[in-house]
């Protein structure tokens, strides 16, 4: 059976076997000291609005969550329309493409690959036909039972074209629809086959679905266009997004978070909410708080800038230093560095200037440029640093490679001492829920002591924030966050083969702080 649809990928579609250069491995041979991005998802029900254009700007606000590919699917009376490709949001779309994406429903995605290679065929939204029409699925997170689910689906489907767990969720939903269920019942059936972390926005010809996993590991918020909140059950122009910053850019008002285990169904009749599964204890990824989400996004009623500044306050109390200046690794370390300065009464200064226009690129610098090190992205201010004892604040160290280059650049600029403070605990365990933290043996804090890390990155002193301090600064119940990358306590059980692939050994004692 075929359904009306339109794809702009026909001429450039790569098969799963066609290689597209992986920007992480090839263009950035020295990978950064950060856990690498999650994904950004966006959905919109808005008759009489240019939904593709609004989705474009929503994705633009979520670009920090993924820079490998972007896509938008829309729905109108004629069916579905989709365009997706490799690159940044501003590189993938232009005015003509957005005009061709007509409709009253839009689903958007900006991707960083954690499951599935960096190929254009794995770009989202995933488009799958059903007896009720085509669906478009955008996913943030990782399923831990993807291998088992794929085997189940292959028994009935032989057209799985990607390597992503996202497409498996889409096929599970389509399978339930084709077995006779309506969209909501089919979604409940499909989601109960999925284990792990998933926030989803799913467009259909009849309405738009939004859902979170039972623990709420990955974020998803609900908003309405404009500033007037509708009465319960009344029609409105609804928005779903990974973060509130995507609501702000299009003039939408935040309503609430989608709850763990909740499904919302948005149609011309309004919005309904169902618990597709009994919610367990909330386990929002704490790295969303520390690093991933934009500092202007609202979580638990306040901006993440405020939380990150409190991390700096706590860090200054736990690990003071006798220095002349406090500075940050821009941009992610800035709020904590300001907090450290406020608490310690030591002046804050900008010691590194970031080139914000250096993105992922396939063009390699010359050998002499590579020898200069970090300065294509971060350039030190010699007149600020010369002759000074510097304390630099960053939010995390994963591998240690970039940190060492930054420290060397500060010394080359004349700093006589360089101390480092990290506003999170040591990352000792890999993530299985949608963040790329590498295998455990590539995590510097899993293999080295505090003194060995300090020696490797060549700082005069090094300290991490305590796990207790990180959670206390949230002003929330400490047990409501997933912090498995610091503790190895995973809230969703990991199948042994999947676990063994990344978890190489047991860290007996955390690195001292």
Bridge partners for 327 per DSSP: 392
Nearest by Cα to 44 from 132, 105, 131, 133: 105
CA-CA distance, 12 to 422, in Å (whole number)? 44
> Which residue of the set 39, 82, 121, 194 is catalytic?
39
Label residues 249-258 b or e (16+ Cβ within 10 Å = b).
ebebebbebb
Residue 394 marked in a binding site: yes
Nearest by Cα to 445 from 30, 33, 28: 33
Nearest by Cα to 111 from 186, 162, 53, 45: 162
> Which strands sit side by side in the sheet containing 325-328, from one edge to the other?
325-328, 389-394, 417-422, 461-464
CA-CA distance, 9 to 94, in Å (whole number)? 15
DSSP state of 376: G
CA-CA distance, 385 to 380, in Å (whole number)? 8
DSSP state of 31: -
CA-CA distance, 16 to 189, in Å (whole number)? 28
Crossing angle between the packed helical segments 334-344 and 304-318, to the nearest 10 degrees: 50
Residue 82 marked in a binding site: no
H-helix or E-strand containing 51? helix 51-61
Tell me if 203 sits within 8 A of 43, measured CB to CB. Answer: yes
Residue 121 marked in a binding site: no
Residue 431 marked in a binding site: yes
Nearest by Cα to 311 from 280, 347, 342: 342
Residue 154's alpha-carbon distances to 62, 114, 390, in angstroms, are 33, 22, 57
Residue 269 marked in a binding site: no
Structure tokens at 182: 């309506």
Residue 121 appears among annotated catalytic residues:
no
Within a 10 A sphere around the Cβ of 177, how many other Cβ atoms?
Answer: 24
Give residue for tokens 């204890």.
281
CA-CA distance, 319 to 391, in Å (whole number)? 11
Q: Where is the binding site for Mg(2+), in residues?
A: 332, 394-395
Q: Where is the binding site for [4Fe-4S] cluster, in residues?
A: 285, 431, 482, 485
Q: Where is the binding site, in residues?
A: 285, 332, 394-395, 431, 482, 485
Residues marked as catalytic: 39
């Amino acid at each position: 059976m075929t359904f009306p649809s339109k794809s702009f990928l026909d001429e450039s579609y790569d098969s799963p076997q066609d290689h597209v250069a992986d920007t992480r491995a090839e263009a950035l041979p020295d990978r950064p000291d950060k856990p690498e991005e999650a994904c950004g998802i966006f959905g919109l029900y808005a008759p009489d609005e240019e939904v593709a254009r609004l989705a474009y700007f929503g994705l633009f606000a979520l670009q920090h969550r993924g820079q490998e590919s972007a896509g938008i699917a829309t729905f109108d009376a004629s069916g579905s329309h989709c365009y997706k490709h490799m690159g940044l949001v501003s590189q993938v779309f232009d005015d003509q493409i957005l005009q061709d994406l007509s409709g009253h429903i839009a689903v958007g995605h900006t991707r960083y690959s954690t499951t599935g290679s960096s190929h254009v065929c794995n770009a989202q939204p995933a488009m799958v036909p059903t007896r009720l029409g085509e669906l478009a699925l955008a996913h943030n997170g990782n399923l831990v039972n993807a291998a088992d689910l794929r085997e189940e689906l292959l028994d009935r489907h032989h057209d799985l074209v990607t390597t992503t767990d996202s497409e498996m969720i889409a096929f599970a939903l389509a399978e339930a629809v084709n077995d006779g269920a309506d969209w909501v019942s089919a979604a409940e059936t499909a989601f109960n086959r999925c284990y792990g972390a998933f926030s989803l926005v799913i467009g259909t010809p009849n309405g738009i679905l939004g859902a979170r996993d039972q623990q709420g590991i990955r974020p998803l918020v609900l908003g309405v266009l404009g500033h007037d909140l509708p009465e319960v059950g009344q029609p409105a122009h609804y928005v779903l997004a990974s973060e509130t910053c995507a609501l702000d850019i299009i003039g939408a008002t935040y309503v609430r978070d989608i709850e763990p285990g909740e499904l919302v169904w948005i149609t011309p009749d309004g919005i309904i909410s169902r618990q597709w599964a009994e919610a367990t204890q909330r386990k929002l990824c704490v790295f969303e708080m520390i690093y991933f989400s934009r500092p202007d996004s609202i979580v638990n009623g306040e901006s993440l800038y405020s939380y990150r500044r409190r991390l700096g306050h706590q860090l200054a109390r736990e690990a003071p230093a006798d220095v002349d200046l406090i500075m940050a690794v821009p941009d992610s370390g800035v709020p904590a560095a300001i907090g450290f300065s406020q608490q310690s009464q030591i002046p804050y200064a900008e010691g590194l200037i970031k080139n914000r226009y250096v993105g992922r690129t396939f063009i390699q610098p010359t050998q002499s440029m590579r020898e200069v090190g970090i300065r294509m992205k971060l350039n030190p201010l010699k007149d600020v640093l010369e002759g000074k004892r510097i304390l630099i604040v960053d939010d995390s160290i994963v591998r240690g490679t970039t940190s060492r280059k930054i420290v060397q650049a500060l010394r080359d600029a004349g700093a006589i001492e360089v101390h480092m403070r990290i506003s999170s605990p040591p990352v000792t365990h890999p993530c299985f829920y949608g963040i790329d933290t590498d295998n455990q043996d590539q995590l510097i804090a899993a293999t080295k002591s505090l003194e060995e890390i300090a020696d490797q990155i060549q700082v005069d002193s090094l300290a991490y924030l305590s796990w207790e301090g990180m959670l206390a600064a949230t002003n929330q119940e400490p047990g409501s966050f997933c912090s498995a990358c610091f503790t190895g306590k995973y809230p969703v059980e990991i199948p042994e083969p999947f676990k063994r692939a990344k978890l190489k050994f047991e860290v007996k004692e955390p690195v001292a702080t």
